[in-house]
Amino acid sequence: MNDYEIMLLLDPELAEERGNEIIQRIRDSVDTAKGSWDGHEPWGRRRLAYEIDHKGEAVYHLLLFSAPPETLAEITRVLKITDGVMRYGAYRRVKGSTNTKAPSQIPVGAPASHSAPADDDSARRADDTDEASE
């Protein structure tokens, strides 16, 4: 048995009942394989870094469980074909890790922190060196 975590991104337009059904199906797969369900942390609706299927937000869930590798393969197969699942990531948990809480959200109106813009001349010089080698 291995410890796993799945970060699940669900469609924000999906009914909450349908989202709960998807999570319950994963939990049933773990229980059927004689694994242990360690927790479910709903992180809520969050803005995406880039749009997926023309949607700028997703509902995040962190699922924690222990199961045989075959069970994880079955769960990922089911998630691939399940409507309403935008993305998922299945990973082995690091031993002793307690990171289950959602990171704080950046306020919507807050400016993103960027480094100082590069000098235009230095950018042009970098481009010129590429042309000279051709």
Determine, yes or no, domain membership for 28: yes
Question: Do the domain assignments include residue 112?
Answer: no
- Domain assignment present for 44: yes
- Prediction pTM value: 0.71
Residue 18 counted as domain residue: yes
Residue 89 lies in a domain: yes
The secondary structure element, H or E, covering residue 58 is: strand 55-67
- Domain holding 47, by residue range, is 2-95
Give the Cα separation of 109 and 131 in Å (integer): 41
> Domain total for the chain?
1
In this predicted structure, the answer to whether residue 26 has a pLDDT above a threshold of 90 is: yes
CA count, 13 A, side-chain hemisphere, 106: 9
Report how far residue 67's alpha carbon sits from residue 72's, in angstroms, rounded to the nearest whole number.
7
pLDDT in tens, 42-83: 999 999 999 999 999 999 999 999 999 999 999 999 999 999
- Closest among 78, 69, 62 to 28, alpha carbons compared: 78
CATH number for 17: 3.30.70.60
Residue 72, judged by CB atoms within 10 A of its CB (0-12, 13-18, 19+), counts as buried
Per residue in 89-123, pLDDT (tens digit) is: 999 988 777 666 656 665 555 555 555 555 555 44
* Residue 120 falls inside a structural domain: no
